[in-house]
Amino acid sequence: MVIKATICEIIHDGKILLQRKDLRKFGGGKWNGPGGKLEPNESPVEGVHREVFEETGLNIYSPSLKGILEFYFGKKSEADWTCYIFRTERFSGEPVNLGEGELRWFKLTNIPYNDMWEDDKYWLPLLLEGINFKGHFIYDEKGEKIIEYNLQIVRKP
């Protein structure tokens, strides 16, 4: 069964808010936008609001869906994850680590791609330029290296 999740890239004052997930969590030790698994019957928009608040204490406004990505861990017929990628520049509050992992603002010119999931270097620059995308990434079974990917620019994700 495919796990559905969200990621929200929060942009402010030439910086992006990233979270380094706790080592005990999926993706532990990697920087990523806040987000997580959707609950049953929850829409991606509902989920991104809830997840960002639960992980950062921020209320986000008008998140824009920029991409939909499917992730496979090993070659198989069905994706392991479908992730809805959002962007927003509107939020209230101050980011607080609520137990999910360290939060840090990075300059858009100094994004730590080497400490992120490998796929981020392909789609995050598109998001930062305001470009919509869809794609899939096939990692090895351990999730350490991309073995194949396809990323397309689209009108609407």
In eight-state DSSP terms, residue 39 is P
> ∠ CA 121-112-70 to the nearest 5 degrees?
35
Selected residue with higher pLDDT from 44 and 29: 44
The whole-angstrom separation of Cα 7 and Cα 5 is 7
Kindly indicate the confidence band of residue 23, based on its pLDDT and cuts at 50, 70 and 90: low
Element (H, E) at 120: helix 120-128
142-153 pLDDT per residue, tens? 999 999 999 999
For each of the domains in the chain, give its residue range(s) and CATH number, in order of start. 3-153 (3.90.79.10)
Mean pLDDT (whole number) for 55-69? 98
Q: If phi over 0 gives left and psi between -120 and 50 gives alpha, with beta otherwise, what is residue 62?
A: left
pLDDT for position 151: 98
Q: Quote the pTM value.
A: 0.95
Name which of 20-24, 128-132, 143-147 the model is least confident about. 20-24
pLDDT for position 99: 84
Task: Check pLDDT > 80 for residue 37.
Answer: yes
Is residue 62 within 8 Å of 90, Cβ to Cβ?
Answer: yes
